[in-house]
Amino acid sequence: MLDMVQVWQPDTCGCLVHQAGDQDAPNGERAMRYVTHAQAVQVHLAHFLARPQSTQRHIWGPFSIPAWLRWRPVLKLLIQRLQPAARLCPAHLVLGYTGEMYETVRELNIRKNIACYLAWMVGNEVSDEDLQWVALGALEPILVAGRVSTERMERMKSLSRVFPPDAVIWKVDDPTGAVHLKYLRDWCSRELADAIQEICDARFSAGRVAVL
């Protein structure tokens, strides 16, 4: 059931799009799908009329909604005004507000995330056994050096034997082109940088990720 609306902006371009999903589904199981601004308004309107007390309230601010605003035409007009507008970056403008645009933007963002993760894995010689060991860690909150963490998070952190994930610097010069993993060849050995490039080529095909 689509009854939750949110806006999403990728890291890799300036697009801003709407997504909708099931508010009652657990976060890890909630499948968000693309909707247009008009569809987002309809989802938000239907949810508010059915379950006003569980509607995400950030759109309304801290004020209660007067009874007269619950008249459907007025309420829809108000949601249309308050629902953030979508936007497209110049590179994706030609695709319009379509499912193709959303999948294109989403694929680029996912490609960037996976490429950075693969670079971290290869650079730290993280094995499948390491990841299985991480998955066995408990998820209950624990206090580590004055901060809240979990056993699983601490195990994952310990795998950064050479460099942490945020040491992988990326850049997308053209949202229709390659993801560039920058500066890796400045401080990684040639063999390691080539290994990262090879695994990225195998995952995405040549030219989709460039290890620089």
Q: In the chain, where are the structural domains located?
A: 4-82, 99-211
Whole-number pLDDT of residue 73? 73
DSSP string, 100-140: HHHHHHHHHHHHHHHHHHHHHHHHTT--HHHHHHHHTS--S
Residue numbers in the chain where pLDDT is lower than 70: 1, 27-28, 51-72
pLDDT reported for residue 58: 46
Q: E strands of the chain, at which residues? A: 4-8, 17-21, 33-35, 141-144, 147-150, 169-171, 179-182, 209-211
Q: What percent of the chain has pLDDT over 90?
A: 65
Hey, what amino acid is at 26? P
Cα–Cα distance between 189 and 193 in angstroms, integer? 6
pLDDT score at 106: 96
Q: What is the pLDDT of residue 93?
A: 95
Give pLDDT, residue 48. 77
Q: What are the C-alpha distances in Å from 45 to residues 74, 76, 78, 86?
A: 11, 6, 10, 17
* pTM of the complete model beyond 0.85: no
Q: In terms of Cα–Cα distance, which of 33, 42, 44 is closest to 8? A: 33
Q: Is the dihedral of CA 154, 156, 162, 166 positive or negative?
A: negative
Query: What integer pLDDT is reported at residue 26 of this predicted model?
Result: 75
Residues 48-93 pLDDT 10s: 777 665 555 444 444 455 555 556 677 778 787 888 889 999 999 9
Greatest pairwise CA separation for the chain in angstroms: 69
Q: What is the pLDDT of residue 44?
A: 82
Q: Which residues pair with 181 in a beta bridge?
A: 170, 211
Are 172 and 179 contacting, i.e. CB atoms less than 8 angstroms apart? Answer: yes
What is the distance between the alpha carbons of residues 12 and 34, in angstroms, rounded to a whole number?
Answer: 17
